[in-house]
Amino acid sequence: MRTVLLVDDHVLFRESLALLLRQRLPELRVLEAGSLHLALRQCERHPDIDLIVLDLMLRDSRGVLTLERLRRACPGTAVVVVSGATEAGLALELRRLGASAFLPKEVGSEDLLALLRRLLLLPEAVAAEHREPLSARQREVLERMIEGKSNKAICRELDLSEATVKTHVQAIFRKLDVCNRTQAVLAAVRLGLVDEHEAERFRTMTHD
């Protein structure tokens, strides 16, 4: 049986998520912790934890330090960060530090369940694997969106009309099931569409 540890000090959110997992993924054993201290104790008691769902902002720890301490306590365990923050730079930083995925808290339950199924190698693989793939040109447009370039700048670089670029951007939004550029970047990070060079370049840009 696969084991998931939920680490969040918002009791209602944590218990609601635990209930969702127990109902929809009954093959999982679900553990809970309301602080980093309790999460570390759970890691000691249950060295077979397969995946941790983590809120970075706990009452006894804040930010990426929380991820780093849990990664040291549970080496090799997949960590999914679920946070109210949605900055693309944060998502890329977390991936660099070893998080398996980053999801904003407003994400739908089906997306979360699909991600956990994929990471835990459970049946009914993540829906993202069945999304319509991006074309080569759409990938080029997405790469420049990740760099923070405007439609006009993308037009100049790719020698395309502004109308064509807008069409590609809308197609990217549709295929990634997002509504804006920030969500598109987050989805690209989550789905592994951003390589390490692109991620580092974007992270540097957002920290300037």
DSSP state letters, 8-44? -S-HHHHHHHHHHHHHH-TTEEEEEESSHHHHHHHHH
Q: Does residue 41 or residue 109 have the better pLDDT?
A: 41
- What mean pLDDT is predicted for residues 59-85? 88
Contact 175, 138 (CB under 8 A): yes
Residue 123: its pLDDT value, please? 54
Task: Supply angle C-alpha 81, 196, 95, rounded to 5.
Answer: 10
Residue 191: its pLDDT value, please? 67
The pLDDT-based confidence of 190 (bands split at 50, 70, 90) is: low
Q: Is residue 198 scored above 60 in pLDDT?
A: no
Could you tell me what percent of the chain has a pLDDT over 70?
Answer: 84
Q: Does residue 53 or residue 100 have the better pLDDT?
A: 53
Q: CA gyration radius for the chain?
A: 18
- Mean of the per-residue pLDDT values of the chain: 83
Q: What is the pTM of this model?
A: 0.62
Residue 88: its pLDDT value, please? 63
Q: Is residue 92 scored above 60 in pLDDT?
A: yes
Q: Is residue 112 scored above 80 in pLDDT?
A: yes
**Among candidate residues 10, 91, 17, 96, the one with its CA nearest the CA of residue 52:** 17
Residue 207: its pLDDT value, please? 47
Which DSSP helix (H) or strand (E) runs through 126? Answer: none
The pLDDT-based confidence of 147 (bands split at 50, 70, 90) is: confident
The pLDDT-based confidence of 80 (bands split at 50, 70, 90) is: very high
The pLDDT-based confidence of 127 (bands split at 50, 70, 90) is: very low
- What mean pLDDT is predicted for residues 10-30? 92
